[in-house]
Structure 1
Amino acid sequence: MYAHVIQKTNRREGPIQLLAALIFGVALVLAQTITAHAKMPESFADLAESVSPSVVNITTSTTVAGVQSGPGPIVPEGSPLEDFFNDFLDRQDEGRRPQRSSALGSGFVISEDGFIVTNNHVIDKADEIEIEFYSGKRLEATVIGTDPKTDIALLKVESDQPLPFVPFGDSDAARVGDWVMAVGNPLGQGFSVSAGIVSARDRALSGTYDDYIQTDAAINRGNSGGPLFNTEGQVVGVNTAILSPTGGSIGIGFAMSSKVVTKVVDQLKEFGETRRGWLGVRIQDITDDVAEAMGLEKTAGALVTDVPDGPSKDAGMQAGDVITTFDGAEVSDTRELVRIVGNTTVGKAVRVVVIRDGNTETLKVTLGRREDAENTAVPAVAEKEADPQEKLMFGMTVSALNDELRTQLDLSDDDTGLVVTDVSEDSTAFEKGVRAGDLIVEAGQQRIETLKDFEARIDDAKEAGRKSFLMLIRRQGDPRFVALPLDE
């Protein structure tokens, strides 16, 4: 390519054009060379050799109670067959005695003094945990702490010699298309290496704090708890799950990002448990119709549906507030807010920006601890149908509260609002999940107690030119905003 450019310019161009062509040709050749080298590493051998001593196989043992297959025979006392059946039952008891069950997994050493990271499900309920190192050395491990919400566990072994370890990397720097390498104990085949790319980022499976890296590096049973490395030998994820109809790798694996893991590990190391921040509100995502009904400029933020006793209530937050910023970070949806709050230090005073009645307000909230709040029981409300005085609105039949309804729905004297007694199945309200037994506590972001209040809020929304009408409903104690079209 370079020679061709020279020949062409010598035939037709002057010195300046020739120089430009030469520069272009050199740049083109260099670009092609760089691209060729960037396409694929020549080998992962050096990387595998450097990190393998820090990756471990984990074998757990669990005592499983023996199972009796059915009722034993009954032999009359003094029968000639009594001794025979007693011997028979003794032999059967051997099979019903507690048995030992073993499981295999992976992990990796993160410090020379023997801290090891793995998945919680690898060591859950284990009586004994044995760590096998690349060198063949075996050590017993103890559990420092676990976090079922992110499926992370921190173990510790005692060693006479400093142990080889690997550092965490920045998972946020991992881009879709980057090369990664998984090391672990798949299907009992210890210290196995597989390579692939980052297929997707920020995947959520079922957990509140999920932040998974998706990869096509082969991950199978036994890889759980093992590290996912970048090409610098840094751990950017902990291999946790696969998506497969057969139970084997089909090229869709998930590793919990190091951004999440490092925070969990630090807390487990310091406290033996997690200590996540707690804002103390119930929230839901902002939908397009809810945003329109509230007059919001964009569909973003987290809509507060309830403020029980706790940090936010003490700070003056109200149901109907839209949280847009938390501690300086923009909030796009509820999932992001939960993650940001959970990663914030317990007891920290943070500034929370909310939109209330079209205006922006800043609240200062001192965070509580989520784990403490989750251990507090929340009374449930029984869901039952009622059939008192009724009026049809938006395809819903609603009624003002009375003593009979309070008893049927187990509501207190402090509860106010309208009860939904029936919902037409072809209505938008039914489509959006409104059901008989729901309690409408707010309409147009104002408290209501009577049918007259409800109708007045509808008229206010129409006069304001709204296309949708916002209601706050409660079902079994859980609040939720619902936006209904005013033209229905």
Structure 2
Amino acid sequence: MSILRLKSYLTVCAAVLMLGQAVTAQAEALPDFTNLVEQASPAVVNISTTQKLPDRSAASGDMPDLDDLPPAFRDFFRNMPRSPRSPKGDRQREAQSLGSGFIISDDGYVLTNNHVVADADEIIVRLSDRSELKAKLVGTDARTDVALLKIEGKNLPTVKLGDSDKLKVGEWVLAIGSPFGFDHSVTKGIVSAKGRTLPNDAYVPFIQTDVAINPGNSGGPLFNMNGEVVGINSQIFTRSGGFMGLSFAIPIDVAMDVANQLKKDGKVSRGWLGVVIQEVNKDLAESFGLDKPAGALVAQLVEDGPAAKSGLQVGDVILSMNGQPIVMSADLPHLVGGLKAGAKASLEVIREGKRKTIDVTVGAMPANDDDIMAGDAAKPQGESNSNRLGVSVADLTADQKKALDLKSGVVIKDVQDGPAAMIGLQPGDVITHLNNQAIGSAKEFTDIAKGLPKNRSVSMRVLRQGRASFITFKLSE
């Protein structure tokens, strides 16, 4: 072999050796989940529920009188299989669902999602040894989607509980559950983000991961690499109906607070301010004199609510609570909800460009807060125009003010071409503030509109069907 060939051969061997070392190093760097799964799996359970529903064929009434039917149809109906009847004689059918859960105490307390067991007439928990036990529903909390169950048993396997506050973005996590009924399926991924707020879930700072979650995983545990539960797998974001890389878990700290309250009182109590808030975007920040978008903008107050009694006002921007900064508006409900009724809280706000501190006594969240801000805008009477904005407004009547719980404001009668149309205002909308000034009458609205600055963000507070929000716009002329 020539010296040139020998050198080439040695070079190739060295490259192969380096590649092998790199592959080995990479394999060693990847986490090994085997011990975690072996230790944690026995405490993960499958949950199936049964709900009795009225039979569709019986919902519209009893079977027709066969004597009134043509002969050709009589035999057909006589030979049809009948649905089983309940003791009361009503036909029923059963709806079943599957989910996951995990045992948190050796005497049989189980955590899962509220939506897994909602409206169930019977709940069956299947353990890792495939034995099945009927579960008693201790309590549920729809706002956090947490449910606590109880099964009879002693010395049952349990999970180790972790600290979700210590969880870091980029950290490895693992889920065990029953996707599509396949018990004890294991998927892994990393923490993608923390403190996520989802629509209609203002009280849960979700953990976002890229762990594969599918129907049946709901209610199952999310583990860190120490084998500790840091969350309850609850939701996915999807446009296909299946996993798309975005899954969300309830932090275990939140879930255990709920579970302890359910175990002790059978219900959950949380703090409440009585405000409707919205995000502060760039234009709103400019209109309120803020250096950057931050905080929670108070768009609406509940009459005689804790915030209103403390002196908080519509248009205040809450920057912090008890020293904890409010970066996104969704941070505020998380902080308030974690307090108990009667707790004292200190709010730092921006009002008319100046910082203020407001002390408030937190109230108790109403059992049903869906209709707190109810109200309908009525028809206008007496009007005035503001051609600069392209909107015709009218004074609110006494009945309208009472119905909307307002002391002042104007109602939109007509929208012409112009800035008002461009920002989406509609007849029936009620304007209470313009350029950070309260609107007492149609005349005041017109006067304030005439003096609006050019080429600068201007805020306007609008109520539509009783719901308030701040919007911004700019006038170019």
> Under a length normalisation based on structure 1, what TM-score does the superposition of the two structures give?
0.81
8 Å contact from structure 1 (residues 187, 222) kept in 2: yes
| Partner SS state of residue 202, structure 2 | coil
Shift in CA distance, 435/216, structure 1 to aligned 2, threshold 3 Å: same
Q: Output the CA distance in 1 between the equivalents of 2:65 and 2:389.
A: 66
Deviation of 1:101 after TM superposition, in Å, equals 3.0
Aligned counterpart, 1:442: 433
8 Å contact from structure 2 (residues 396, 409) kept in 1: no
Amino acid at match of 2:338: N
Amino acid at match of 1:185: S
1:320 aligns with 2:315: yes
1:175 aligns with 2:168: yes
Shift in CA distance, 414/65, structure 1 to aligned 2, threshold 3 Å: closer
Superposed, which structure 2 residues align to 1:34-433 within 5 Å? Answer: 36=26, 39-41=29-31, 43-68=32-57, 72-74=63-65, 88=78, 92=82, 94=84, 97-159=91-153, 161-206=154-199, 207-307=201-301, 308-372=303-367, 374=369, 377-382=372-377, 384=379, 389-401=383-395, 415-424=407-416, 427-433=418-424
Aligned counterpart, 1:3: none
Which deviates more from structure 2 when the two are superposed, residues 433-442 or residues 317-326?
433-442
Deviation of 1:40 after TM superposition, in Å, equals 0.5
Q: Output the CA distance in 1 between the equivalents of 2:77 and 2:475.
A: 80
Deviation of 1:328 after TM superposition, in Å, equals 1.6
Q: Output the CA distance in 2 between the equivalents of 1:456 and 1:255.
A: 51
8 Å contact from structure 1 (residues 115, 157) kept in 2: yes
| Partner SS state of residue 338, structure 1 | helix
8 Å contact from structure 1 (residues 418, 451) kept in 2: yes
Deviations 1:436-484 (A, max 9, x none): 112222233333233442344346654xx98233332222222222333
Superposed, which structure 2 residues align to 1:28-39 within 5 Å? Answer: 36=26, 39=29
Aligned counterpart, 2:468: 479
Which deviates more from structure 2 when the two are superposed, residues 277-286 or residues 262-271?
262-271
Q: Output the CA distance in 1 between the equivalents of 2:26 and 2:283.
A: 50
8 Å contact from structure 2 (residues 124, 134) kept in 1: yes
Q: Output the CA distance in 2 between the equivalents of 1:469 and 1:182.
A: 48
Shift in CA distance, 123/395, structure 1 to aligned 2, threshold 3 Å: same
Q: Output the CA distance in 1 between the equivalents of 2:448 and 2:240.
A: 55
Deviation of 1:321 after TM superposition, in Å, equals 1.5
Q: Output the CA distance in 2 between the equivalents of 1:121 and 1:277.
A: 23
Q: Output the CA distance in 2 between the equivalents of 1:74 and 1:352.
A: 71
8 Å contact from structure 1 (residues 381, 410) kept in 2: no
| Partner SS state of residue 365, structure 1 | strand
Please identify the structure whose Cα radius of gyration is greater: 1
Deviation of 1:422 after TM superposition, in Å, equals 2.2
Uncovered stretches (5+) of structure 2, i.e. residues with no partner = 1-21
Deviation of 1:332 after TM superposition, in Å, equals 1.6
Deviations 1:108-167 (A, max 9, x none): 0112222111111111111111112112333221111112222211111121x2222112
Deviation of 1:211 after TM superposition, in Å, equals 3.0
| Partner SS state of residue 143, structure 2 | coil
Q: Output the CA distance in 2 between the equivalents of 1:323 and 1:418.
A: 26
Q: Output the CA distance in 1 between the equivalents of 2:360 and 2:401.
A: 34
**RMSD of aligned Cα (Å):** 3.4
8 Å contact from structure 1 (residues 179, 196) kept in 2: yes
Q: Output the CA distance in 1 between the equivalents of 2:234 and 2:396.
A: 52
| Partner SS state of residue 203, structure 2 | coil
Shift in CA distance, 100/479, structure 1 to aligned 2, threshold 3 Å: closer
Amino acid at match of 2:408: T
Deviations 1:291-320 (A, max 9, x none): 222222332111112222211121111112
Q: Output the CA distance in 1 between the equivalents of 2:326 and 2:466.
A: 26
Q: Output the CA distance in 1 between the equivalents of 2:405 and 2:23.
A: 77
8 Å contact from structure 1 (residues 292, 466) kept in 2: no
Q: Output the CA distance in 1 between the equivalents of 2:363 and 2:412.
A: 35
Amino acid at match of 1:39: A
Q: Output the CA distance in 1 between the equivalents of 2:46 and 2:396.
A: 64
| Partner SS state of residue 366, structure 2 | helix
Which deviates more from structure 2 when the two are superposed, residues 197-206 or residues 438-447?
197-206
Shift in CA distance, 350/33, structure 1 to aligned 2, threshold 3 Å: farther
Q: Output the CA distance in 2 between the equivalents of 1:189 and 1:341.
A: 39
Shift in CA distance, 153/93, structure 1 to aligned 2, threshold 3 Å: closer
Shift in CA distance, 220/296, structure 1 to aligned 2, threshold 3 Å: closer
> Under a length normalisation based on structure 2, what TM-score does the superposition of the two structures give?
0.82
Q: Output the CA distance in 1 between the equivalents of 2:404 and 2:370.
A: 23
8 Å contact from structure 1 (residues 213, 255) kept in 2: yes
Deviations 1:193-212 (A, max 9, x none): 22233344444432223433
Aligned counterpart, 1:14: none
| Partner SS state of residue 56, structure 2 | coil
Q: Output the CA distance in 2 between the equivalents of 1:232 and 1:289.
A: 45
Shift in CA distance, 414/213, structure 1 to aligned 2, threshold 3 Å: closer
Shift in CA distance, 39/394, structure 1 to aligned 2, threshold 3 Å: farther
Q: Output the CA distance in 1 between the equivalents of 2:408 and 2:338.
A: 36
Which deviates more from structure 2 when the two are superposed, residues 50-59 or residues 238-247?
238-247
Q: Output the CA distance in 1 between the equivalents of 2:276 and 2:371.
A: 15
Q: Output the CA distance in 2 between the equivalents of 1:185 and 1:412.
A: 49
Q: Output the CA distance in 1 between the equivalents of 2:114 and 2:126.
A: 18
